[in-house]
Amino acid sequence: MMDILAACLLGLVLIVLLYFANNRHELAGPVKETREGLMELQLKVVQHSSTDADLELWERYLAYLGKYPNEFNKLDQKVNVRKAFAQYLERHYPEDARLSSLQEAASWRREEIWGMNMKGTGRD
């Protein structure tokens, strides 16, 4: 009986350790600050309060979070960062060369259950 209990306890500890190892970037200061900064910028776009000066922040935050694709994808699922950045560029820098590729990328959303890219899932 003690062997079964010890094995279950060891399994539980292993699951907890794997969970924290998987989420270590989210718990880290710079990644958390970057996520929060991008959420603030996305909110400014939605509220039509963004300014031309926000471009430097957008580029810095996107470049940093690009090093952590899993975190970027989680955030994009949560607040649709690609679409917000495309809208920002449409308003403030309509001649930006990145705009057409960003609009295309924003139109493709990741399906939540199977991880397949599905265009026009109705969540946009």
Task: Write down the pLDDT at residue 61.
Answer: 96
Average of pLDDT values for 114-122?
51
Residues 82 and 103 sit within 8 Å (Cβ to Cβ) = no
Per-residue pLDDT tens for 26-35?
556 888 899 9
Task: Write down the pLDDT at residue 60.
Answer: 96
Q: How many CB atoms lie within 10 A of CB 86?
A: 23
Mean pLDDT, the chain, integer: 82
Q: How far is CA 23 from CA 11, 19, 66, 67, 68, in A?
A: 19, 6, 16, 15, 11
Task: Write down the pLDDT at residue 124.
Answer: 43
In the chain, domain spans: 29-119
Alpha carbon distance 68, 75 (integer Å): 11
pLDDT band for 113, please (50, 70, 90 cuts). very low
Average of pLDDT values for 60-72?
91
Is the pLDDT at 123 greater than 50, yes or no?
Answer: no
Per-residue pLDDT tens for 13-46?
888 877 776 666 555 688 889 999 999 999 999 9
Tracing tokens 């449409």 back to the chain, one arrives at 90
